[in-house]
Structure 1
Amino acid sequence: MTIGKSIRLERIVNRDTGRTIIVPLDHGVSVGPIAGIENMRETVTGIVSGGANAVLMHKGVVRCGHRARGRDVGLIIHLSASTSLSPFPNAKTLVCTVEEAVRLGADAVSVHVNLGDETEAKMLDDLGLVTEAAVSWGMPVLAMMYARGPKVKNEFDADVVAHCARVGNELGADIVKVPYTGDPDSFAKVVAGCCVPVVIAGGPKIDSRRGLLEMISNSVLAGGAGLSVGRNIFQDPEPAKLLRAVTAIVHENAGVDAAMELLSRN
C-alpha cells in the first residue's frame, strides 16, 4: 500500500479501531432530493457532530457543503450513477473519474456494482478501470457490491453476499460494502472470505432504532468493519444523537442497551 493511500484511509477509517462509520448522501441522483438531504451543509454538520468518520456524495454537491462547521470529515466521492426513472435502474454507469475526485480533495472513491444484472459485465469493467486508476493516485476504493438480477432469488443469502464481497475484494477494492445477512454467524462467513474490511449497508428505512443498532452491533461482533448507512441515519429525527449511539457501538464496543441509553438522554 502506498503512503498516499494509507494517509487517505486514515481519514475515513479510525486508526485505533480499524472500523468506520460512513454516511452516504448520494441518493439525490437515484431518487431525488428526499427528506434529510435538502440542505447538504446542515445535514453534514449534524452527521459530523455525531461522530461519523466520512460522508459519501456525488461530485456536484461537494461545493454545497461536504465540510461541517467546526470540524472536517472524510470525503468519499461516488463515481457511479443511475436513476429510478430509468427502465434499467440497476445498470450503473461511471459519471466521475478518479482524477476528478483527486482534484476535489477526495479521501476515497466508491463504485456501485449490481452482480447478476444484465449489464454486469459493464459494471465489472468499470470497477476494474477505477481500481487501476486508483493505484496510480494512491486513492482508496470502496466497492458497493449487491446481487440484483433475474437469477438472484435472495440478495441477502449468505453465500450470495459472500460472493459479492469476494468479487469486490478480488477486483481491487480496499473496502467492500454489502447487505447484512441477518445474523452474526452467516455474516462472519462473509467477512472471513475477504482480506479487506467489510462494512454493511443500511437498505430501506428501518422503523426501529433498536433494530438498526442491533444490526450494526451484530455485524461488528461478526468481524465487520462498521457501516455505510444513509437513510436510516440522515432521515432520523435526531441524526447526531443516533450517530453518537452508533459511534459507541462501532468504536467503543458498547452494547445495544448502553447505546440505547445514550439515545434517551437530552
Structure 2
Amino acid sequence: MSYSIAGKHLRLKRILPTGRGVVFAFDHGVEHGPGDFPREYLDPRVIIGKVVEAGVDAVMMLPGAAFITRDLWAGRASLIVKVTSKTNLRPEDGRLLQSVFGHVEDAVALGAEAVAATVYWGSQYEDAMLRQWFEVKRQAERYGYPCLQLSYPRGPAIKNMYDVEVVKYGVRAAIESGADLIKTYYTGSLESFREVVEAAAGIPVLMSGGAVRERFIDFLRDVENVVKAGGRGVVVGRNVFRHRNPAGAMKAVMKVVHEDASPEEAVKYAEQ
C-alpha cells in the first residue's frame, strides 16, 4: 500500500478544489528583482494578505517568503514551495539556468501542499535543470507531494517561445519527466491552447500569467480561453500585484476560473 499516492491526490484536490485552480505566483523578487513591485507592495506581507483575503486557492513562493508570510496563508490558502530560481544579477548567458533555492524537506516543514521547480526546455543548461528536477521529484514522491513543473521552452535555438508547437513540445517533455501539474505559456488563442492541453494527456495544465496586459479585461479573456480549452486555471503574479486593486483583480480571476463568469462580468470586481 502506497500512502504517498493518497497524499498526492489529496494535496492536488486542495490546489484544484473544483478541478480548477488559481495560484498566486510570488517569486518575482528573486527572478526579476524588487523593482518588479509597486513600492506599496514591496513588503511581501502586504500583497500576500490581499490575495489571501480575496480567496486565492494557492500561493507559490520561495521558502523565505513563505516563512515570513506564514501567519497570513496558513489555513486559508494552499502553499506551493518553489525550490529553484535564479537572479537577473548573473551574467546574461547564465540566466537560462535555475539554481537550487530550497529542498522538499523545507516544503514539508512549512506545511506546503506541493513543490515547484522550473525547467527551461531548450536551454544549454537543460541537463543541469533535469538533474535538479529529478532529485526534487524523487524526494517529493517519498512524502506524497505533487510536483508542479514550470515548463518553459527557452533557449538559443527557440525563435518564438509562445509558438504552439514549441509549447506543446515543452508540455510533452514535462509529462514524460513526471510532472503532476504543468505551468506553461499561453499560446494566444483558445484553439491553439486546446492543442497544448491535448499534449498534456490528462495532466493538469495551468497558464502562466506572464507580463502585464495593457487592459486587465484582455487578461481575463486569456484566462477564459484557457479554461474553455480544457486548461485547469492560471498561475498569476504581475497581472494581479501590479493592478491598482490586487484583491479585486484576484476575485475577478477566481470568478472566471471557478464560476465560468464572462470577462465582462468578472472585471467589475477589479474596478471596484
Which TM class, normalised by the smaller chain length?
over 0.9
* Aligned counterpart in structure 1 of residue 14 of structure 2, from 8, 11, 22: 11
* Aligned counterpart in structure 2 of residue 144 of structure 1, from 136, 150, 155: 150
The answer to whether the 8 A contact 1:66-1:75 is kept is no
Whether 1:76 aligns to 2:80 is yes
- TM-score by length of structure 1 reads 0.94
Could you say which residue in structure 2 is the equivalent of 1:158? 164
> Which range is displaced more, 106-115 or 38-47?
38-47
Could you say which residue in structure 2 is the equivalent of 1:262? 269
Residue 63 to residue 165, structure 1, CA distance change in 2 (3 Å): same
Residue identity matched to 2:238 = R
The answer to whether the 8 A contact 1:48-1:71 is kept is no
> Which range is displaced more, 65-74 or 209-218?
65-74
Measure the CA separation in 2 of the matches of 1:172 and 1:85: 31
The Cα of 1:67 is off from its aligned counterpart by 4.0
Residue identity matched to 1:35 = F
Deviations 1:24-56 (A, max 9, x none): 111111222232552222211110122210111
The Cα of 1:7 is off from its aligned counterpart by 2.1
Deviations 1:167-208 (A, max 9, x none): 111111110000000001110011011121000011122221
Unaligned runs of 5+ in 2: none
Residue 260 to residue 124, structure 1, CA distance change in 2 (3 Å): same
Could you say which residue in structure 2 is the equivalent of 1:39? 43
The Cα of 1:21 is off from its aligned counterpart by 0.4
The answer to whether the 8 A contact 1:115-1:147 is kept is yes
Paired residues for 1:107-256 under 5 Å: 107-194=113-200, 195-256=202-263
Measure the CA separation in 2 of the matches of 1:74 and 1:129: 23
Residue identity matched to 2:173 = V
Unaligned runs of 5+ in 1: none
SS in 1 for 2:124: coil
Residue 26 to residue 164, structure 1, CA distance change in 2 (3 Å): same
Residue identity matched to 2:65 = V
Measure the CA separation in 1 of the matches of 2:173 and 2:244: 36
Could you say which residue in structure 2 is the equivalent of 1:2? 5
Residue identity matched to 1:40 = P
The answer to whether the 8 A contact 1:78-1:110 is kept is yes
Measure the CA separation in 2 of the matches of 1:121 and 1:254: 42
The answer to whether the 8 A contact 1:41-1:67 is kept is no
Measure the CA separation in 1 of the matches of 2:234 and 2:220: 11
Measure the CA separation in 2 of the matches of 1:169 and 1:67: 34
Could you say which residue in structure 2 is the equivalent of 1:97? 103
SS in 2 for 1:2: helix
Measure the CA separation in 2 of the matches of 1:71 and 1:42: 18
Residue identity matched to 1:212 = F
Residue identity matched to 2:143 = W
Could you say which residue in structure 1 is the equivalent of 2:54? 50
Measure the CA separation in 2 of the matches of 1:189 and 1:54: 26
Question: Is the helix fraction higher in 1 or 2?
Answer: 2
SS in 1 for 2:72: coil
Deviations 1:131-156 (A, max 9, x none): 12111110011100111111101100
The number of aligned residues is: 263
Residue identity matched to 1:73 = A
Residue 71 to residue 234, structure 1, CA distance change in 2 (3 Å): farther
Q: CA RMSD in A?
A: 1.6
The answer to whether the 8 A contact 1:145-1:164 is kept is yes
